[in-house]
Amino acid sequence: MQQLTVELGDRSYPIYIGSGLLGQRELFTPHIGGKQVCVVTDDTVSPLYLDALCRTLEGYQLISVVLPTGEAYKNWATLQQIFDTLLTARHDRRTTLIALGGGVIGDMTGFAAACYQRGVDFIQVPTTLLSQVDSSVGGKTGINHPAGKNMLGAFYQPKAVIIDTASLATLPAREVSAGLAEVIKYGLIRDAAFLAWLEDNMRGLRNLEAALVTEAVARSCAIKADVVAADEREGGVRAILNLGHTFGHAIEAHQGYGQWLHGEAVGAGMAMALDLSRRLGWIDTAAAERGIALIGEAGLPVRSPASMAAEDFIDLMAVDKKVLDGQLRLVLLKALGEAVVTAEFDSAALHETLAQGQS
């Protein structure tokens, strides 16, 4: 097992990474303050892993909420089901919520924990590659609004992140690729050596070779933990974690949540960020092509949907959180492994990038 720490003073917390951790009671108990525990999961993950987790937590006053699966349900109505269950079972302020599932479950459970009785403890048990390398770490929680992704939410840190890499065995290949988008993101923004390692090992990663997956998860979590520790509430450097996301969120919203997977939209969005960085002359053609090739090798789209015009992007990006004081800010690359957040870019170049959809 590997262990990392997200350093946030008295709100610091551990990330445990290893195979079979779902069955290790001693990893959970130090992070559960009271007797009541509520596991939140979805109807895809529950038949796979809920029983195992419940066995691990025997002895607690344990309840579970099984939500409908998917991004389309990351909304108020679904969130309400968590509160209804907690209140019906009379869970009090010492209850601990456990998010068992992908990023949708993690984001919703974290937001529920932030709101319930003005804040209760929660633990992340991410079961998709995307949630293991990204969404479970860093304390961004929330839900979608029809007008935009993650428009309602809170910064709220978990007490622990328990990553059982064995749970990836049941994950569909398309979801593995989606998770690899965020893994590639860390290489592009922060770590050229990691990017080269990914180029060497992409095939093995897609086949979920255990040692490679553990390494990729640990290196990704280390970068995320580092960035979050430096800038928890995204006043500065944390924004680089949004590479490809301003474009990607627009794709997700335009296609309808759940049509393009988040990671797929981010894959295409990062390819667009590479393309724009090249058009601006910040990286050369070879570097852009290298990054785009790696995204493609992960099984991800490298162009926006054919049905999306440049104007669709402009409209949707205007509601994105990266717009500050009416100015669109984008994460772009100065080199492979070095990202910048900037509002200084030529709008003609942006327009050309936006008009490059799939043909």
Ligand X SMILES: NC(=O)c1ccc[n+]([C@@H]2O[C@H](COP(=O)([O-])OP(=O)(O)OC[C@H]3O[C@@H](n4cnc5c(N)ncnc54)[C@H](O)[C@@H]3O)[C@@H](O)[C@H]2O)c1
Q: Give the catalytic positions in this structure.
A: 118, 140, 182, 224, 234, 238, 242, 245, 249, 262
User: What residues pair up with 152 in beta bridges, in sequence order?
Assistant: 143
CB 24 → ligand X: shortest distance, Å? 17
The site that binds ligand X (CB under 6 A) totals a number of residues, namely 30
In DSSP terms, 98 is beta-bridged to 39, 123
Footprint on residues 139-168 left by ligand X (CB under 6 A): 140, 150, 167
- Give the one residue of 95, 135, 304, 353 binding ligand X; rule: CB under 6 A: 135
Chain-centre distance for alpha carbon 173 = 17
Q: Is 44 helix (H, G, I), strand (E, B) or coil?
A: coil
The CB-side HSE value for 279 (13 A sphere, CA atoms) comes to: 18
Which residue has tokens 């749970």? 167
Closest alpha carbon to 49 in 41, 59, 57, 60: 41
- Positive or negative torsion for Cα 346, 234, 295, 135: negative
Is residue 42 a contact point for ligand X (CB under 6 A)?
yes
Nearer CB in complex with ligand X: 167/220 = 167
Closest to ligand X by CB, 27 vs 241, is 241
d(CA 13, CA 4): 9
**Site map (CB under 6 A) of ligand X, residues 250-279, x = contact:** ------------xx----------------
| Of 263 and 357, CB closest to ligand X | 263
Sheet holding 36-42, edge to edge: 2-6, 13-18, 160-164, 121-126, 96-101, 36-42, 61-67
Tally Cβ neighbours within 10 Å of residue 34: 15
CA 286 to chain centre: 28
Out of 36, 46, 69, 124, point to the residue binding ligand X (CB under 6 A). Answer: 69
Of 12, 29, 170, 307, the residue at the interface with ligand X (CB under 6 A) is 170
Residue 127 binds ligand X, judged by CB under 6 A: yes
248 binds ligand X (CB under 6 A): no
Distance of alpha carbon 40 from alpha carbon 62, whole angstroms:
11
158/337 with CB nearer ligand X? 158
**Taking the complex as a whole, how short is the minimal distance between the CB of residue 346 and ligand X, in angstroms?**
29
Contacts of 152 (CB under 8 A, 6+ apart): 76, 111, 142, 143, 144, 145
| Site stretch for ligand X (CB under 6 A), options 50-58, 69-77, 202-210, 298-306 | 69-77
Among 46, 131, 220, 277, the residue binding ligand X under the rule CB under 6 A is 131
103 binds ligand X (CB under 6 A): yes
Using the rule CB under 6 A, is 242 a contact of ligand X?
no
Half-sphere exposure of residue 304, counting CA atoms within 13 Å on the CB side? 29
Q: Is 79 among the residues that bind ligand X (CB under 6 A)?
A: no
Of 82, 130, 271, 302, the one binding ligand X (CB under 6 A) is 130
The reply to whether 66 sits near ligand X by the rule CB under 6 A is no
DSSP classification of residue 287: H
233 part of the interface to ligand X, by CB under 6 A: no
Binding site for ligand X (CB under 6 A): 42, 44-45, 48, 69-71, 74, 101-105, 107, 127-128, 130-131, 134-135, 138, 140, 150, 167, 170-171, 175, 178, 262-263
